[in-house]
Structure 1
Amino acid sequence: MTGTERFERGWEKLMEVDGEGGKRVVDSLQAVAPDLARYVIEFAFGDIYSREGLTLQQRQLVTLAALTAQGGCEPQLQVHVNAALNVGLTPREIVEAVMHCTPYSGFPRVLNAMFVVKRVFEERQLIEEV
């Protein structure tokens, strides 16, 4: 696969998963680190997100858990909570995925993640659906 094909495949997957949120992330990197923006597109979405074996919903559950467990990733978590909704996860599934991290990563990280979830749900007027 050529670099152009890899980029195009990654861009299509980024738009499918993250939509405008993903575009904003890539655009925000262009002035300071355009190579990093390209890596996000080519590697994360062109190579990893485009693999077979997991659905986009399953990939987002894994991503939510990883960002929650790592902590300190609230801006990225916000993008991926929106992405999880974009690919069809329900608000309840998102809440449960984050809560499931509590015994593994602890209350502080889960609380921080849940406040991000809450903010996204409020912005999208989904708070009543939980």
Structure 2
Amino acid sequence: MELHKTDPEFAERLEHFAFDEVINEENQQLEPFTLYMAILATLIGCGGVDAYKEMIPQALENGITPIVAKEIVYQATDYLGYGRMLPFLNVTNEILTENGIDLPLDGQATTTLDDRLEKGIEAQAEIFGEHMKEAWKAGHINRWLAANCFGDYYTRKGLDLSERELITFCFLMAQGGCEPQLIAHAEGNMNMGNDKGFLIRVVSQCLPYIGYPRSLNAVTCINKAVEQ
């Protein structure tokens, strides 16, 4: 870490907190694959391109495959938009190429332009309940949400629905200002088996990358989802 040379006191405390205290906190630990999946999604969500570039080689050494890395970045398009996602896709391609990975990777799509709406509605209903089968009819943005967000991305291979809900939670938590959506996706996570304790562990492990205000807001949203 270059900061050891330029900012040694800061680097000492950062490393102790993020890479010792936090990851070793009793009852707040995650398996390496889940940990790095959450951290990558969180860094994308907060716009931390430089930190993402530092972290992705470690992620690739701890169970994150090239396909998983790409799927995390692709799905960020729905929650951050192309404008904020693109730098992370460029960095990911750069790191994969440096590691001798041939691009493009194998395709992961399971829908076509003809059935993406239908399959997206199915994914929404599986996560949030049967009432979602009618939600797409509320307007064109709701239709886009079903066809594009869920039909184009959630249906892809590489990550299952519980993992996709987890990274969505991280995108929303990290960018802030999305509390209504964060509450909804905290509930979606719980429906997929990612319970309150698990989500609190995710917040805890991602706190060094997004700070206390957004982390505390995320805990509040988790509690509100439980209440609902």
TM-score (norm 1): 0.80
The answer for the alignment partner of 1:86 in structure 2 is 191
Would you identify which runs of 4 or more consecutive aligned residues in structure 1 move more than 3 Å?
Answer: 20-27
Residues 38-57 of structure 1 aligned to structure 2 (within 5 Å) = 38-57=143-162
Equivalent-residue separation in structure 2 for 1:68 and 1:112 (angstroms): 8
SS at match of 2:159: coil
Residues 67-86 of structure 1 aligned to structure 2 (within 5 Å) = 67-86=172-191
Cα 1:8–1:23, aligned 2, differ >3 Å: closer, same or farther?
closer
Q: Which amino acid is the alignment partner of residue 216 of structure 2? A: L
Residues 100-115 of structure 1 aligned to structure 2 (within 5 Å) = 100-115=205-220
For residues 38-85 of structure 1, the C-alpha deviation after alignment (integer angstroms, 9 at most, x for no partner) is 110001111100000112121121111111100011010111011101
Residues 1-130 of structure 1 aligned to structure 2 (within 5 Å) = 1-3=112-114, 5-19=115-129, 22=132, 26=136, 30=138, 34-123=139-228
TM-score (norm 2): 0.47
Contact 1:60–1:83 (8 Å) recurs in 2: yes
Equivalent-residue separation in structure 1 for 2:172 and 2:180 (angstroms): 10
Contact 2:121–2:150 (8 Å) recurs in 1: yes
| TM-align CA RMSD | 2.0
Contact 1:7–1:38 (8 Å) recurs in 2: yes
Equivalent-residue separation in structure 2 for 1:85 and 1:53 (angstroms): 21
Structure whose CA Rg is larger: 2
Q: Which amino acid is the alignment partner of residue 54 of structure 1? A: L
Contact 2:121–2:136 (8 Å) recurs in 1: no
SS at match of 1:51: coil
Gaps of 5+ in 1: 124-130
Equivalent-residue separation in structure 2 for 1:10 and 1:66 (angstroms): 20
Give % identity. Answer: 38
Contact 2:184–2:225 (8 Å) recurs in 1: no
Equivalent-residue separation in structure 2 for 1:9 and 1:54 (angstroms): 16
Contact 1:68–1:101 (8 Å) recurs in 2: no
Q: Which amino acid is the alignment partner of residue 225 of structure 2? A: V
Could you tell which deviates more after superposition, 97-106 or 10-19?
97-106
Cα 1:22–1:52, aligned 2, differ >3 Å: closer, same or farther?
same
SS at match of 1:100: helix
